[in-house]
A and B are shown apart, each in its own frame.
Chain A
Amino acid sequence: MSARVLMLGNEAIARGLVECGCSVAASYPGTPASEILSAAVQWRKACGVPMHIQWAVNEKVAMEIAYTASLTGLRSAVSMKQVGLNVASDPLMSAAYTGVVGGFLVISADDPGPHSSQTEQDSRLMAMMAKVPVLDPASPAHARDLVEIGYELSETFGIPVMLRPTTRVCHACQDILPGEVRQLGRKADFRKTPARWAATPAFRFELHRELAGKLRAIAAWPRTAPLRLNPHAASRRAVVASGVVSAHAVDVLLEAGLWDSVPIYQVVQPYPLHSGFIAHILEAYEEILVLEETAPVIEMQILDRQRVRGRMTGAVPEAGELLPEIVDRLIAEFAGLPVKAEQAEAKGGGRRPTLCAGCPHRSSFYAIKKAAPRGIYPSDIGCYTLGLNLGGVDTVLCMGAAVSQAAGFYQAYHLAGEEIDIVATIGDSTFYHAGVPPLIDAVVQGARFVLVILDNSTTAMTGYQTTPALGIGAAGEPTGIVDMETLVRGCGVGFCKVGIPSRLPEFVGLLKEAVAYSHAHGPAVVIAREPCVMDRRLASRLKTGRKARVNEECDGCRHCTEQFECPALVYDDGGNRVFVDTLMCTGCGVCLHVCPRGAIVEEDQGVVGKS
């Protein structure tokens, strides 16, 4: 039997780290990057290699920990999603100047589409801004190979190297033959060099000049040069593509019968683009179509504006993922083929995501709307963003912004002499990540709002990673604990109470108390503590056994399906009434409080099989 195994792109990246002797890996979870670190834990165990692998409180901390390991001569890596790189951009910009000793990879996963992100931003532009080289894998196997080449590049030039996969690489699976795991036998050995590691502005100028020299050399490094995929094809027009778009383009050229007539180049290192390559394509071709996601990073480095077609010239859509259907059309136009009539694109529509049946966040949002019906509801990044389906979320900006936006709303209305109810929501992991500094600020400025920390004891959206409150590490090992109530009180908050959202009437009362306190004194914090229904580790703590049914009092008003939106409550168009999907119902019992006519009642105990 073949020894090839099916690997998710993120597992292949993690495999590459372990095979290359990476010693320290840190991350903060975010789609589409989350599985890189958890896979590293699995490979470490399977291969029996020594590594420090950790979830960090946020991406900045993760990057600083991994970068510092490189200063001691070890190979290290940090992984995150693209908006996480924004959080970590401060150390990245500086580390480009100071450089590395052991190989250091910054893995930043982009999400063209976007499928699961606030923005479609291109991490390759961030690499360009920081002045570090970036590698753009086209498949899981390619991503694994680029980990190896990335470490070689990083150590050859003493520079951080970015690996930029996209969703279609991270969440593709491919058959891959696992490679040999190398043990480098390195030990931490930090050589004090203050002029570099603690450089003052005068030294920074020198470091900047040194960096420019490194980039010129990297733009001529043969190991990452663009690949000519079909050397036999000759034309005055060529396609230049990178990442998964180059893979789409290969399949399209083959299927359209253009493989032998349209030259295609795959760019492996979009920045710095190889200088010899730029000279070559401008010499050899009259027209060049550049296909890349999501910003025109390659396109802008090809300096002849007359010959280049891409995102900047309008030949390629300026936003969005370049799906194969789009690549098909762009290549047909470029090659002068008749463009097929617009095919019905198979995408879009269908059932929207919603909070799970039995999710405690649903109770929290319902209670917030009861306690402060005319309030403003800033929220944050996580599953609970779906509270917007329930009208419980008015703003979502970025990690931690629920707290600062609550303060911003308070200050803006306060100027006009208006005191409004403001109830912000933030998840437990997000609170630790970026919610603490704005809470300190709110205390100092006396901003008046309620912050509800939705504490489900996990980072649910991204796959149930641990939080600092749990005392459990990435591999299940015991860690230190930061207690949430102590942290909140330590920020100077005078009102910090814990409630259980599924005890709905009681929880509404607690929120009203918090709203009243906030108007009189300043920020109030309510911790809504109840475990995630999907996290199997917490199953024993879940409240169940109160299965619901809808009786004949239901008049089909849809209050429950629209204001509460539990997937187990289903509106039946034919009968003009609601029924309970007993397969979906978890028995949390919260909806028993929701119907204005009292038509949702508890199923007879005899009927409920188990509790």
Chain B
Amino acid sequence: MNRQPGGPAAGRQQIVVSGVGGQGVLFVTRLLADAAIRRGESVLTSETHGMAQRGGVVVSHLKAGVFASPLVRAGQADGLFVLKEENLSIHRGFVKSGGWILVNSVRVGEADGDETLHAIDADGLAHEVGNIQAANLILLGFALTRLGTPDQGGMLFCSVDDIRAALHQRMGERESVLWSSIAALDLGIFHGKR
């Protein structure tokens, strides 16, 4: 197994992505999984399909590095993406002490314990640029810069370039969708740097 040298985020990492049906929770999870493969990691994810996708709570798990089980246990996640703010109270229990939480919200909430909370109004930004489906990628772009990438010794196992490459791989044949996706990612990156 190839191991990337780097900060604490290199190697094994467990992430939970939470939202409701239709928000692109699975898409974000698969991009992160593609990114893990690009970095030479093994990866396992677990997705929600079926009736919950009709607007109900959707949660997916991602484990990069060597694991056997696709599920993240409560209190074990390095980080949590929350695409629907109302899910924060349901899923924050996944995050371990010292982990990070990224919320799609107009305000930064209170941390329960010693997690780090970051917030971005991804819905508002998505609405502003006229692409309401883009909130997931705006949040992801924001996370990539706010958390920092492995080369900088950051908290996330993959880099902006990994995600860009994953987007190209998934959407290479649909150019207009690809470019609006890249634009959404860049918008999040821009806000993450501010």
Contacts and interface: CB of A to CB of B under 8 A. Distances in A.
Interface of A: 1-2, 4-6, 8, 31-32, 115-116, 138-139, 168, 171-175, 244, 246-248, 250-251, 323-325, 328, 343-356, 383, 385-386, 461-462, 567, 583
Nearest to B165: A1
B43 A175 contact: yes
A325 B52 contact: no
Contact of A173 (B30, B87, B90, B127): B30
Interface string B32-58: 011011101111111111111111110
A175 B42 contact: yes
A383 B54 contact: yes
Contacts of A462: 50
B70 interface: yes
Given A116-B49, A172-B46, A175-B43, A351 B69 contact: no
Q: Chain A contact residues: over half helix, strand or loop, or mixed? A: loop
11 contacts: A6-B45, A116-B52, A172-B44, A172-B70, A174-B43, A174-B44, A247-B69, A248-B68, A346-B91, A353-B56, A354-B56
Interface stretch (B3-11, B71-79, B101-109, B186-194): B71-79
A2 B37 contact: yes
Given A115-B52, A350-B90, A353-B51, A172 B73 contact: no
A323 B47 CA distance: 14
Nearest to A9: B70
Contacts of B90: 346-350
B47 A353 contact: no
Contact of B71 (A4, A175, A248, A352): A248
B54 A353 contact: yes
Contacts of B151: none
A6 B56 contact: no
A316 B51 CA distance: 28
A139 B42 CA distance: 13
Contacts of B67: 251
Nearest to A353: B56
A350 B43 contact: no
Nearest to B43: A175
Given A6-B45, A174-B70, A352-B56, 4 more contacts: A168-B46, A172-B44, A344-B93, A351-B87
A122 to B, nearest CB: 19
Contacts of B48: 115, 171
Task: Report the interface size class on chain B.
Answer: 35 or more
Contacts of A2: 37-38, 40
B70 A168 contact: yes
B77 to A, nearest CB: 9
A46 to B, nearest CB: 14
Contact of A386 (B46, B54, B71): B54
A86 to B, nearest CB: 18
Interface in B105-146: 127, 132
A36 B42 CA distance: 23
Counting from the closest, the 8 A-B pairs by CB-CB distance are: A116-B50, A353-B56, A346-B93, A31-B50, A350-B57, A172-B70, A250-B68, A247-B68
A244 B63 CA distance: 15
A339 to B, nearest CB: 14
A351 B57 CA distance: 6
B48 to A, nearest CB: 7
B56 A351 contact: yes
A173 B71 contact: no
B21 interface: yes
Contacts of A172: 44-47, 70
A350 B56 contact: yes
A385 B68 CA distance: 35
B68 A138 contact: yes
A471 to B, nearest CB: 27
Contacts of A461: 50-51
Contacts of B43: 6, 173-175
A461 B21 CA distance: 12
Contacts of B86: 350-351
Contacts of A31: 49-51
Contacts of A347: 90
B164 to A, nearest CB: 14
A583 B132 contact: yes
A140 B189 CA distance: 33
A31 B71 CA distance: 19
A250 B69 contact: yes
A551 B30 CA distance: 43
Contacts of A355: 54
A171 B44 contact: no
B37 A354 contact: no
A336 to B, nearest CB: 21
Given A247-B69, A346-B93, A567 B49 contact: no
Given A6-B43, A353-B55, A325 B20 contact: no
A353 B40 contact: no
A383 B56 CA distance: 12
Contact of A354 (B38, B55, B132): B55
B91 A6 contact: no
Q: Which of A172, A250, A355 has the most CB of B within 10 A?
A: A172
B94 interface: yes
Contacts of B42: 174-175
A173 B55 contact: no
B70 A386 contact: no
Contact of A344 (B54, B57, B74): B74
Interface in B3-26: 16, 20-21
A324 B93 contact: no
Contacts of A385: 51
Contacts of A244: 69-70
B156 to A, nearest CB: 18
Given A344-B93, A350-B56, A350-B87, A168 B71 contact: yes
A173 B44 contact: yes
